[in-house]
Structure 1
């Protein structure tokens, strides 16, 4: 998130090391150095600081030289423990001060967190810079701007960083979950209690509609949003809200705000009530938006026309689009795709092309940080797998002098290869001329043993898998299959069907 850029480096370093240790049973120092690009001394100092800060929540032990293991001593989730680390951030505390301040001065803030005036000015200026990017401002150390944007900021601070500007009571939680359950008969209170990682942000935003009740605000006019309001959800909201909370407590602005929260976040509201026609309607609305069309054309330019026709690609674009309503993307965190997904040259190539897509979108659509680092990782994984789906199956031709060996090898390949996009053909020596094995695209020749003549086929993709020691050879074949597939994908994306001049 954009806010992460303004948080103190020390806090972010602790978060990064903690997440790695929490999510892996064992972490080797060399891996920590590679992932974080920190020195060994810095990593050790960060681990010591985490142990000091979280001594009642976790234990970190060096179980053998340079191998570390984190043990949780509590029932808190990874995100909840991260919130404890984030409490150290003066930037986050300053944002809370600006949101909740009624008549306090800067000196009151300084006294509350024990920092110097010079540091306080630096922190406040960093906050102002961030607020400017998200369409908000300050006056006399109080936040100013559209109410809906302030609410998204408040929920971001609470859900993603554990910085609570307002107390959430059990009654508030009950009200919002009652509302959700009324709209979806498949959802229960118990389910929602155990789904905070997924729906907690949505719940918090809904609660703010009464915690920060303001009868005088309204959403600015937005043509895209007005089109979305034609779907059935918007028409159903008033009756559900009036039924639960009373008919005189909600205004059109409240309905608009709650519908915006519905559209822009992950939530189970009305999930069991969508018809096929409803799904078609909302997809048509999204895909006729100019900025969506521009993005799809860019993807087509860099990756070819076939990929943008796939339903799963369109689902990914829809997933991205939700966060960009009213340009709220800086305040809506997506799933954590912070890990390194660049595991091959192909991943790196796809990532680099997506960076160019990002640069074009920022320039042409005038969007600050049009796609985040996490989104680049997400779309790298998505496009890599969609491109794999588009690839024709590779052919493994089993070359043997025995029909029995053919059958045995076929079953061994189907049962043991982790790579699954292949088909098997059989070539019985003596039954066909050797020349027919040459010049077959997407073909890998699998010999059940070494034959003198296979040198004639050295230009082909040949691998020898002796049946008497085949277990040691599957990894080599899998590597060859992946290499061949990657070559095919490179060939596909380099045959772009959209001329670059159409995008200039």
Structure 2
């Protein structure tokens, strides 16, 4: 969300770096299509980006193909934060959160811009802050403390802009707490420290901003989740594992705040069997929240109740809905919500989900400006669930014996599940061929005995030769065609749902 309010140069630089990371070699033409920039502008931006990031990376343009030297996801994360440091909007945002004893004049001199420029940037900050329930008053960001803490953490974790001194001692306290709560998480913490950076910062702000008056959400989400057993369990864990490391006594409000953090950002607490058993009950508690029920109802109106009854769907919708608890949807920035590769189908799904979320927000009188990365990640998780609800693709298997059919059918069911409607055909007749030809976009697997007999099948029906001694070759070819058929059906389904939503808007 905050990217919408940043300078174009900064946003373009970060976007280009992400695209180059996704495809280490990409044509200028493709970049032009993905960014909307002219080739001349692209060359200029790429040269500037290369100069900015040298010697850490090397960007080259050869024969209209752009290449990026290999970098790790961790390095990409650090390079993005380096680019965000150039944003004057972000620097002003940090100043409004914590002056660090500096006057406006001193701050402007430090960053080499005039005071009129400062106040223009402050207005841009105010526009963003409205979307997260905060405002600016007398040169300071004002609003509920928990919202300000999430903003502080987001600025540090995603943009590398530090408003609070998250020192080594605080890092160690959080690490000790997490390790004591779940020792098995150490390999993951060592390998992907960024994955839980937001959680680490928010926990540390319990003591780093303890002098601030803390208020918590008061909405349907919060009232529902406070009834869950995990609330008391987390409190006990905090008292046992975290409290002894602190020099002050945590209050009941502090414990509630830590529970809010636990529920809204990625963390590795509670990953034992007892938590798994509680999760089913927690899932149903969330499903009863009126706002979650409303969001679920929109999906049910488009795809039917069978989709929304699945455990996978409930988990995805609950996780997305929880981000709206306390109006945090544009402040919860997880490592997993980074840039997702965009293909045509992802873009169309994003558009559909964005319309659904906008309708949902309007129903609840919330701002319908929702962070793009939240929408993309929600859509990304929904795609396979929607695809699974599409009608099964007909597959006819022609083999000379039922035993051969059983072997092949078992292989296919293991890989494709209910995406295929499999029929056994141990004989051939003109009537049967006519029946198959009446089915559009079906697939046919046949052994040598039936191969020539099926030469007159409908061109829409794709046939594949399969041999029992080497079945995987035929299955591999079938896999490719099935993907194409399912993709086409998925796009048609999404376009149909988009048309329905457009009609409702009209």
Cα deviation digits, residues 313-367 of structure 1 (max 9, x gap): 11111220221110111111243464454535xx666544433312311321122
Q: Does 1:390 align with 2:392?
A: no
Q: How does 1:59-458 map to 2 (within 5 A)?
A: 59-62=58-61, 64-72=62-70, 77-101=75-99, 103-188=101-186, 191-214=188-211, 216-243=213-240, 244-246=242-244, 249-272=249-272, 274-334=274-334, 335-336=336-337, 338-339=339-340, 341-344=342-345, 350-369=349-368, 371-397=370-396, 403=400, 421-422=419-420, 423=422, 425-426=424-425, 428-429=427-428, 434-440=433-439, 443-445=442-444, 458=458
* Paired residues of 1:394 and 1:442 also in contact (CA < 8 A): yes
Aligned equivalents of 2:26, 2:432: Cα separation in 1:
54
Match of 1:483 in 2: 485
Instruction: Give how far 1:307 is off.
Output: 0.9
- Compared CA separation, residues 488 and 123, structure 1 to 2 (3 A): closer
Instruction: Give how far 1:239 is off.
Output: 3.6
Which sections of structure 1, spanning at least 5 residues, go unmatched? none
Cα deviation digits, residues 7-54 of structure 1 (max 9, x gap): 101000000111111232222222211211211111111111112111
Greater CA deviation, 40-49 or 440-449? 440-449
* Paired residues of 1:445 and 1:461 also in contact (CA < 8 A): no
Aligned equivalents of 2:257, 2:479: Cα separation in 1:
55
Aligned equivalents of 1:69, 1:207: Cα separation in 2:
40
Aligned equivalents of 1:181, 1:4: Cα separation in 2:
34
Aligned equivalents of 1:111, 1:238: Cα separation in 2:
46
Cα deviation digits, residues 117-142 of structure 1 (max 9, x gap): 33222111101111222122222212
- Compared CA separation, residues 466 and 499, structure 1 to 2 (3 A): closer
- Compared CA separation, residues 337 and 396, structure 1 to 2 (3 A): farther
CA RMSD of aligned residues (A): 4.0
Greater CA deviation, 190-199 or 52-61? 190-199
Tell me the TM-score normalized by structure 1: 0.84
Tell me the TM-score normalized by structure 2: 0.83
Aligned equivalents of 1:66, 1:413: Cα separation in 2:
48
Q: How many residues align?
A: 490
Which sections of structure 2, spanning at least 5 residues, go unmatched? none
* Paired residues of 1:446 and 1:462 also in contact (CA < 8 A): no
Aligned equivalents of 2:104, 2:153: Cα separation in 1:
24
Aligned equivalents of 2:356, 2:305: Cα separation in 1:
15
- Compared CA separation, residues 261 and 341, structure 1 to 2 (3 A): same
Match of 1:44 in 2: 43
2:272 aligned counterpart, secondary structure:
helix
Cα deviation digits, residues 63-94 of structure 1 (max 9, x gap): x4122221258995211110000000000000
Which one has a larger percent helix, Structure 1 or Structure 2? 2
Cα deviation digits, residues 398-436 of structure 1 (max 9, x gap): 569xx49x969x979979xx9774336335446976545
Cα deviation digits, residues 462-503 of structure 1 (max 9, x gap): 3355789x989976984466336744895799699x999999
2:18 aligned counterpart, secondary structure:
helix
Aligned equivalents of 2:329, 2:432: Cα separation in 1:
62
Q: How does 1:17-36 map to 2 (within 5 A)?
A: 17-36=16-35
* Paired residues of 1:148 and 1:219 also in contact (CA < 8 A): yes
- Compared CA separation, residues 46 and 304, structure 1 to 2 (3 A): same
